Amino acid sequence: MDKGITGKKGEEFAADYYRKAGYTVSEMNWHSRYGEIDVIAEDDFQIVFCEVKTRSSNTRTNPCEAVDLKKQQKLTLTAFKYLQITGCEKTPRFDVFEIWMDEGRIYRFNNIENAFEPMDFSGRYDIF
């Protein structure tokens, strides 16, 4: 299966997961100059910035391992930019949604809530 199609299928699955859990999905594939956030979902109290990682069954590593320190930095900056633009004051949470697929079918998933803490970039970027 094409990598782009696999990723899109995983992102749609994650968005549906949040909807079924009572969240409102406010954005998908939201871009800033710092990067992209796959799914942005909200409930009454918090806003979730979710990175979706989809892998085929023949991979040797867990999908979450791709969310390294550099990726966390990009996600944090992108999320803070989103909060600045929208004026949202809800508590941010950063999730990593792992999905394993085989022959185009999702056979396993894991949503890691609070996968990492947002980094402090105070004074180093113009979004603050």
Q: What is the pLDDT of residue 73?
A: 93
CATH number, position 81: 3.40.1350
CA distance to 2, 33, 97, per residue, from 17 (Å): 23, 28, 10
Please give the residue range of the domain that contains residue 66. 3-45+58-112
* Mean per-residue pLDDT, 53-81: 89
Q: How confident is the model at residue 106 (pLDDT cuts 50, 70, 90)?
A: very high
Residue 123 scores a pLDDT above 80: no
Is 39 within a domain? yes
Q: Determine the pLDDT at residue 29.
A: 97
pTM: 0.89
Write down the pLDDT at residue 107.
Answer: 92
- In the chain, the number of structural domains is 1
Residue 121, pLDDT score: 57
14-65 residue pLDDT tens: 999 999 999 999 999 999 999 999 999 999 999 999 999 998 877 778 899 9
